Amino acid sequence: MKRRDFIKTLTGSFASSLIAPGLLLSQQALAAEKNAEFWRLAAQGHNLIFVRHTRTTPGNGDPDGYRLDDCSTQRQLSDLGRAEARQIGEHFQRSGVKLDRILSSAWCRCTETADLAFGRHEVWEPINSIFFNRDRGPAQTRAILAAAAEQPKGENWILSTHRSNILLATGQNTSMGDVLLTRYDPNQPEQLRVLAQLDWR
């Protein structure tokens, strides 16, 4: 290698070593700024915070013949998904934000997400999976909106549920593990307003 090319390569490597940490820091700063708004709104209360269940074993929906009373027949959280749920919970614990209700779909991947993240859950039928029965979607969404309209002032509710349910209630698509902070707006009664998303990854 010629001396000039060697110096150019060395200079480029040095510049990259400076840029990469700077880029990482700027990304972290942006995430912190976004999360500051999430936690500010969460501290005010009166929110429905949707948590799409974390990462699962491969597949969509559930295997044929699954049963709600037998987790082994359902698509379940993977080991990574369990670690993700704990990580989400750690963010909430550090925030000190009060969580009044931890509502969950009856499906085991949702109850386990709730238990690992928040230590408890109560099954709430309106956020049960509609993957195999889309016709239930509108009625379940109306039940969510009706409950949101009557939510006691200042309370925060966690809703551990599924992609389709979140999409109908908020109009926003989600990936596994996404956390959306929403509020009921009487001027927009057909869907909840998404105000912030937690960047926990």
The DSSP-derived string for 176-190 is TT-EEEEE--TTSTT
Q: In what order do the strands lie in the sheet with 156-161?
A: 122-123, 101-104, 156-161, 47-52, 179-183, 193-197
Judge contact between 105 and 127, C-beta under 8 A: yes
Tokens of 199: 């960047």
Q: Provide the domain count of the chain.
A: 1
CATH code (residue 102): 3.40.50.1240
Q: Which residues contact 184 (CB under 8 A, 6 or more apart)?
A: 48, 145, 148, 149, 151, 192, 193
Tens digits of per-residue pLDDT, 165-183? Answer: 999 999 999 999 999 999 9
Tell me which residue has tokens 């386990």.
112
Could you tell me the pLDDT band of residue 17, with boundaries at 50, 70 and 90?
low
* Section 81-92 average pLDDT: 99
Tokens of 70: 């037998």
Q: In this model, does residue 4 exceed pLDDT 90?
A: no
CA angle 68, 147, 89 (to 5 degrees): 60
* Section 117-137 average pLDDT: 97
Tens digits of per-residue pLDDT, 108-126? Answer: 999 999 999 999 999 999 9
Q: Which residues contact 20 (CB under 8 A, 6 or more apart)?
A: none
Judge contact between 49 and 156, C-beta under 8 A: yes
Tokens of 71: 């987790």
Question: Would you state the pLDDT for residue 29?
Answer: 66
Around 78, how many Cα atoms within 13 Å sit in the side-chain half-sphere? 11
Could you tell me the pLDDT band of residue 33, with boundaries at 50, 70 and 90?
confident
The whole model's pTM is what? 0.85
Q: Which helix (H) or strand (E) holds 193?
A: strand 193-197
* Section 54-81 average pLDDT: 96
Question: Would you state the pLDDT for residue 86?
Answer: 99
The residue segments making up the domain with residue 12 are 3-197
